[in-house]
Amino acid sequence: MPLIRDSGTLAIRCFKSVEHCADRLTGAAGPVFVAICWVLIVLGGISFVDVIIIHKPLSFLRLIFLPIAILILLNLYSQYYYVIRTPPGNPHSVVEEIKREAPWMIEKGSDREHRGMLADGTWAGEKLRKCGRCLGPKPIRTHHCRVCRSCVLVMDHHCPCQYGCVGLYNQRYFVLFMAWLSVSCWTFAILGYQDFWLSMSYKPAWVAVTPPISFTLIWVLSVALGCAVPMLLVWHIYLISRGETSIEGHDNDYFTTKAKERGVTYINPYDLGSRRHNLEHYFNVGPGRLPYYTLFMPFRYPPSTSGWRFPLHPIALSRRRRNSEVPEDDRYGNVVVGDEDEGELTDDEGGGGGLWSEDQEEAPWT
């Protein structure tokens, strides 16, 4: 038995070592991926302008399409620039906001009467936890990234192609970049279809500056990305319409299954009740927010939340306003909201770091 136990411990250590090496490799390769992405989209833009726009007879339709093509290219480059240059959002960068606006949210005990909540019930957090890795404050929907070595507000995933995480402050740009990349690829593939066959023929009729072989490779790459990226985009739009991130999607599937086994219905507390409301909240557009046309503008826009307060599902909001005490005759008594009993599955701090206090010892990030 001791031999089996020692072998198991050794195997776990080996897996952990491989995991740490993979994390370090992913972080180190980030700049390389970013450079490759920039080279590809810039070469694609140059080929598009050179072959499809400049070296074509100017017609009325092309004159109309020209500003649209410029808008597509501007959004493609600007959205990717915003993705890689906008920090996803870290809790420790807004600790001063906690001390200034909500010192009562610092949890000292576990009783419900001490859990902070705004009068209108829009503060989704009940406890201000402490991250077991970076020892900083860890609001709800925040996760620690092993590659970035920091907590990320509303973390979706770590993306090597942007050399960082997709989180609260750059998630809009990430989705819009995928959308404009899809549009760019199919625009290039459709309008450059005849030029593609011309580049394959090696005839002297090729007058563009871009070499035929370069145009051929870029066209093939555009078709490939035009098939792959839209599927990823649709998946993210689907998650957004449900009010969840990629990480939360895995957890919510588990909670839904567990709820069915118990004969109850699981509700994601951050699902606002309709797909439209979830999408408007994510992109910060709609009534009382930014105009819809900002989705087509190559500019920066703030998110609809600070990462500490979140609008809730009507049932979740109703329960929080009643201090989560559900009477026996409650018509939603067979509904479980959020991970009330399970805890957060996607936390990887080895059991969590407890609760955060503003008078704690100095953390590694200070």
Question: Cα(190)–Cα(179) distance, rounded to whole angstroms?
Answer: 17
Helix axes 60-85, 2-47, angle to 10 degrees: 150
Cβ–Cβ < 8 Å for 226, 178: no
- Residue where the block lists tokens 């030029």: 195
Indicate the helix (H) or strand (E) that contains 267. Answer: strand 265-267
Q: Which two tokens stand for residue 299?
A: 């500019």
Torsion of CA 296, 247, 17, 8, to 10 degrees: -160
Query: Under DSSP, is residue 337 helix (H, G, I), strand (E, B) or coil?
Result: strand
Question: Cα(99)–Cα(119) distance, rounded to whole angstroms?
Answer: 19
Residues designated catalytic: 159
Dihedrals phi, psi of 144, to nearest 5 degrees: -90, 130
- Residue where the block lists tokens 């990030």: 365
Dihedral sign from CA coordinates of 94, 98, 101, 102: positive
